[in-house]
């Protein structure tokens, strides 16, 4: 059953450490690819404004921790990344989906952002994210 606004966010160890803060949790398919790099850099560039709204940014992908660390270092991404190599988190959030590319069908991340309120409940869901302008939209709609 898909998650909805108002639902309690599925537990992630990291989220318990961020309890009481707003968390912008963005799922992306693969580190250091064009769309994912743009999205991550847009969140990086707006991070001071998210911080002013007491919001923490967290990126999640099926990449290994080493790939995420290399990606974060290469682009100066100053927020937390969570490796989800077994896609358990993506499945809990309902974003591990069947995708098609050039006639091939495979399972992967559907680019989605969740805003989780300080109470641990989902405040906003951005499904099937289009990268251009996304970080700005999320920032503008934060309470």
DSSP state of 33: S
**Active-site residue, from 15, 24, 25, 36:** 36
- C-alpha 54/C-alpha 52 separation (Å) is 5
DSSP state of 76: T
41 catalytically annotated: no
Note whether 126 and 7 are within 8 A (CB): no
3-state helix, strand, coil in the chain (%, to 5): 35, 30, 40
Which residue's structure tokens are 């920032």?
139
Q: Which residues are catalytic?
A: 36
């Amino acid at each position: 059953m898909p998650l909805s606004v108002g639902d309690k966010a599925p537990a992630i160890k990291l989220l318990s450490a961020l309890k009481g803060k707003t968390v912008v949790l963005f799922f992306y398919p693969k580190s250091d690819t064009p769309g994912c790099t743009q999205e991550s850099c847009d969140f990086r560039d707006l991070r001071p404004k998210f911080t002013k709204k007491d919001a923490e940014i967290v990126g999640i992908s099926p990449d290994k921790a080493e790939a995420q660390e290399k990606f974060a270092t290469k682009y100066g991404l100053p927020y937390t990344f969570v490796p989800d190599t077994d896609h358990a988190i993506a499945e809990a959030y309902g974003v591990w989906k069947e995708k098609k590319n050039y006639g091939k069908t495979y399972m992967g991340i559907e680019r989605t952002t969740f805003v989780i309120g300080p109470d641990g409940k989902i405040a906003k869901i951005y499904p099937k994210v289009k990268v251009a302008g996304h970080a700005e939209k999320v920032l503008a709609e934060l309470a």
